[in-house]
Amino acid sequence: MRVIRRALSTLRLDQNLLRHRIYREVFGMPLATNWREFLLGQAERLQDDLPSVAEITEAAKERWILPRAARLPGYESWDDADLEEMFASFLA
């Protein structure tokens, strides 16, 4: 959570994005081989070996999206009003 909060701050995004009322919907995956050393302050720069958008999409789909959809099918009944209510504070 600290890393996400710091990233939001660095990107000049409202840290209230973390308060989205959906539990465990912020996921992460390493995007560089030296991610741990970078986050611990042991490396100044991330190595430029980022996965492709397709690889990230596939990893997210397999690891989080499909299993979550199978366990919690309630999203199927969401409509535009539900989504607008969920993100109203960020759209203002």
pLDDT of res. 29: 77
Of residues 23 and 1, the one with the higher pLDDT is 1
Minimum mean pLDDT range among 14-18, 35-39, 54-58: 14-18
In whole angstroms, what is the distance from residue 70 CA to residue 76 CA?
A: 11
pLDDT of res. 9: 85
Domain limits of the chain? 2-91
- Give the N- to C-terminal CA distance of the chain in Å, as an integer: 24
pLDDT in tens, 7-25: 888 888 887 777 766 565 6
Q: What is the DSSP string of 46-63?
A: --S-PPPHHHHHHHHIII
| Threshold 0.75, pTM exceeds | no
Rg for the chain, CA atoms, rounded: 16
Measured from the Cβ of residue 40, the count of other Cβ atoms closer than 10 Å reads 9
pLDDT of res. 42: 96
